[in-house]
Amino acid sequence: MKMIVGGAQIGGIQKDEGRQAVVARMMALMEQAHEKGVEFLVYPEMTLTTFFPRFYVEDRSEFDHWFETEMPNAATQPLFDMAKRFGMGFTFGYCELTPEGLHYNTSILVSPEGEIVSKYRKTHLPGHAEYEADRTHQHLEKRYFLPGDTGFNVVRNQGAIMGMAICNDRRWPETWRTLGLQGVELVTIGYNTPSQNNLSKEEGIERRVYHHELSVCAGAYQNSTYAVAVAKCGMEDGNHMFAGSIIVDPDGFVIARATGEGDELIVAECDFDKCAFGKSTVFNFAAHRRVEHYGRITEQTGMKIEV
Ligand code: CDV
């Protein structure tokens, strides 16, 4: 079963850029995608707003205006309408404030009929919860979000088994294997990855991009799944985030790649029948996994040196 899949990379969103302007940019990319025959489109993490965890506020409720209390809402409804008109499925990330007052870094998967068929709340929140004066850049995701309560789930959408992860999740093999164990064929990942996080230990942008790509390619290969990883990138109010959006095949090869740091569409044809080979050979989980030796994965969080 073949599907043309797109990744809609979004360039920087400044603090004063409203939702409507961002949704207009998303719709321009969706229109391009439609012209290229895209049937399913992936947008980044926190697509609707700037990456505000860069900034500290003592009273975190001052940042509630970055969160959505319903989805779709007035700002995003035109995007849902356009996708339905095109018969295109899509996924995007946003900041969710629930009726109970809980804050999550969320993504949703929307069917071509315009129904939200799956919701995922980010599991692995990087960074810290309090202002850290010795850092050159703050990364306050732990201040503004709760760890997600959904876990990693899959849904059958447009004939393929799809699962979502968000940004930092892509670096954790547990994410991929949990989806792989459910037969995932397409993993979608939106991300905002700062090029610099702490100048006192500068890694360099090339190394950071390499680690991003390594994680996605390895996760795709080791679970024999396609993966689409899409950036929000470029400059946001003086902070740079790297681009590097990619589509990866079940052999772990990059089959589409963004070339710039702005709004950009990447497209690839995914043949989901190709997922079967790895899933039935090297990564035939039923035949080869040895769960009796994996207990530490769920029983232990941090490293313990006992020798
Ligand atoms: N938004 C993110 O989760 N960013 C992290 C950075 C902080 C390392 C990432 O894993 O890309």
**Residue 281 structure tokens:** 């050979």
**Residue 272 structure tokens:** 């989901």
CATH 3.40.640.10 fits 2-299, yes or no: no
With 70 as the cut, is the pLDDT of residue 288 above it? yes
Atom of ligand 1 nearest to the CA of 125: 3
Question: Any catalytic annotation for residue 132?
Answer: no
DSSP 20-88: HHHHHHHHHHHHHHHHTT-SEEE--TTTTS--GGGS--SSGGGGGGGSBSSSS-TTTHHHHHHHHHHT-
Percentage of the chain beyond pLDDT 70 is: 98
Q: In testing the pocket of ligand 1, which one of 138, 139, 216 has its CB within 8 Å of the most ligand atoms?
A: 139
Q: What is the pTM of this model?
A: 0.97
Atom of ligand 1 nearest to the CA of 122: 3
With 60 as the cut, is the pLDDT of residue 200 above it? no
Place 248 in a pLDDT band, splitting at 50, 70 and 90. very high
Measured in Å, residue 296 CA sits from the centre of ligand 1 at 25
Q: In testing the pocket of ligand 1, which one of 193, 207, 236 has its CB within 8 Å of the most ligand atoms?
A: 193
With 80 as the cut, is the pLDDT of residue 199 above it? no
Atom of ligand 1 nearest to the CA of 171: 10
Measured in Å, residue 165 CA sits from the centre of ligand 1 at 12
Residues with CB under 6 Å of ligand 1 are 45, 126-127, 139, 167-168, 171, 191-194, 197
Q: Is the four-CA dihedral 270, 107, 212, 29 of positive or negative sign?
A: positive
pLDDT of residue 237: 87
Question: Any catalytic annotation for residue 84?
Answer: no
With 70 as the cut, is the pLDDT of residue 201 above it? no
Atom of ligand 1 nearest to the CA of 127: 7
The mean pLDDT of 288-296, rounded to a whole number, is 98
pLDDT of residue 197: 76
pLDDT of residue 67: 98
3-class secondary structure, 234: strand
Question: Any catalytic annotation for residue 269?
Answer: no
Chain centre to alpha carbon of residue 13: 17
The mean pLDDT of 135-152, rounded to a whole number, is 96
Measured in Å, residue 298 CA sits from the centre of ligand 1 at 23
For residue 30, count other CB atoms closer than 10 A to its CB: 24
Which of 122, 232, 236, 279 is the catalytic position? 122
Measured in Å, residue 168 CA sits from the centre of ligand 1 at 5
For residue 131, count other CB atoms closer than 10 A to its CB: 12
| Nearest CA residue ID for atom 8, ligand 1 | 193
Contacts of 197 (CB under 8 A, 6+ apart): 135, 137, 139
| Nearest CA residue ID for atom 1, ligand 1 | 192
| Nearest CA residue ID for atom 4, ligand 1 | 193
Percentage of the chain beyond pLDDT 90 is: 95
With 90 as the cut, is the pLDDT of residue 204 above it? no
Average confidence score pLDDT of the chain: 97
Measured in Å, residue 35 CA sits from the centre of ligand 1 at 32
With 60 as the cut, is the pLDDT of residue 275 above it? yes
Q: Are strands 89-97 and 103-110 parallel, antiparallel or unpaired?
A: antiparallel
Q: In testing the pocket of ligand 1, which one of 128, 143, 192 has its CB within 8 Å of the most ligand atoms?
A: 192
Q: pLDDT tens digit string along 9-68?
A: 999 999 999 999 999 999 999 999 999 999 999 999 999 999 999 999 999 999 999 999
Measured in Å, residue 167 CA sits from the centre of ligand 1 at 6
Q: pLDDT tens digit string along 89-108?
A: 999 999 999 999 999 999 99
CB 180 within 8 A of CB 225: yes
With 90 as the cut, is the pLDDT of residue 122 above it? yes
Phi and psi angles of residue 193, each rounded to the nearest 5 degrees, phi first:
-115, 110
Place 222 in a pLDDT band, splitting at 50, 70 and 90. very high
Q: How many residues does the chain have?
A: 307
The backbone region for 5, taken as left when phi is positive above 0, alpha when psi lies in -120 to 50, beta otherwise, is beta
Torsion of CA 231, 154, 213, 190, to 10 degrees: 10
With 80 as the cut, is the pLDDT of residue 203 above it? no
Closest CA to 226 of 285, 268, 178, 280: 268
Closest CA to 48 of 114, 102, 95, 97: 95
pLDDT of residue 180: 99
pLDDT of residue 93: 98
Phi and psi angles of residue 108, each rounded to the nearest 5 degrees, phi first:
-125, 155
Place 289 in a pLDDT band, splitting at 50, 70 and 90. very high
Measured in Å, residue 292 CA sits from the centre of ligand 1 at 32
